[in-house]
Amino acid sequence: MELSFYILSGGKSSRMGEDKGLVEVNGEKMVKQVLEKLKSIGPQIKIITSNKAYKNHGFPLLPDVVPNKGPMGGLLTALKDSPTSNAFIIGCDMPLIPKEAYLHLIRSHQEDRITVASIGGIPNPLFSIYPKSLESNVASHVAGEKLKMIDFIRDNKHEVIPMENSLDFDESLFKNFNTREDLES
């Protein structure tokens, strides 16, 4: 299955106070850590942001087609752009997720549905694979201001893959870093 990868980095980062993807965790920018894993998985990688500071990572940047709609706007941008029939959507603030987790989700994916990773019983729409065929459904949600990713997933054919059941992962590897306190913990 051919896949394109999109890192969502277009958020307001209001809790962090500065653009999250460019903040360092364990001495390296979060976006860089995500890119390092993706590079070894597939060639089609883009960062969805309008912040030019992401440019020096060497991957194409893509601004949101409809700005200020949160991750749903990022998903719409990704599916519109995707040259492949499926797109892997990843938040920029989960830098510790191991490559094996990406591979596991890809192996679990079936082309006609959304494949959502769950961690500790909680589905994560920003570590998920979406069929490009859902683009018009996403566009309707965005136009109707129905911006909760989880509601979109529930409205469409999907499968939840509990990461901890299949792989011997520590849940802490799926931590996302939203605040300064998160960085210190």
Detail the residues annotated as belonging to a binding site for GTP: 8-10, 20, 64, 93
Q: Are 131 and 113 in contact (CB under 8 A)?
A: yes
Site residue total, ligand GTP (CB under 6 A) = 23
Q: Is 8 a residue that touches ligand GTP (CB under 6 A)? A: yes
Residue 74 sits in the site that holds ligand GTP (CB under 6 A): yes
Q: Please give the residue whose beta carbon sits closest to ligand GTP in the complex.
A: 11
Helix (H, G, I), strand (E, B) or coil at 149: helix
Nearest Cα to Cα of residue 16 among 92, 117, 96, 118: 92
Task: Report the residue number, 142 or 163, with the smaller CB distance to ligand GTP.
Answer: 142
Q: Using the rule CB under 6 A, which residue among 38, 44, 46, 71 binds ligand GTP? A: 71
Contact between 95 and ligand GTP per CB under 6 A? no
**x/- site string to ligand GTP, residues 11 to 30, per CB under 6 A?**
xxxxxx---x----------
Q: Where are the beta strands (DSSP E) in the chain?
A: 4-8, 24-25, 28-29, 45-48, 61-62, 86-91, 114-119, 122-131, 158-162
Please answer whether residues 97 and 164 qualify as being in contact, where contact means their C-beta atoms are separated by less than 8 angstroms: no
Residue selected from 25, 76, 92, 114 as contacting ligand GTP according to rule CB under 6 A: 92
Which residue among 10, 95, 125, 131 contacts ligand GTP (CB under 6 A)? 10
Site residues for ligand GTP, 28-57, by CB under 6 A, read 48
Cβ neighbours of residue 38 closer than 8 Å, sequence gap 6 or more: 5, 7, 45, 90, 102
Backbone angles phi, psi at 28, to 5 degrees: -140, 140
CB 12 within 8 A of CB 84: no
Interaction site with ligand GTP (CB under 6 A): 8-16, 20, 48, 64, 68-71, 73-74, 91-93, 126, 178
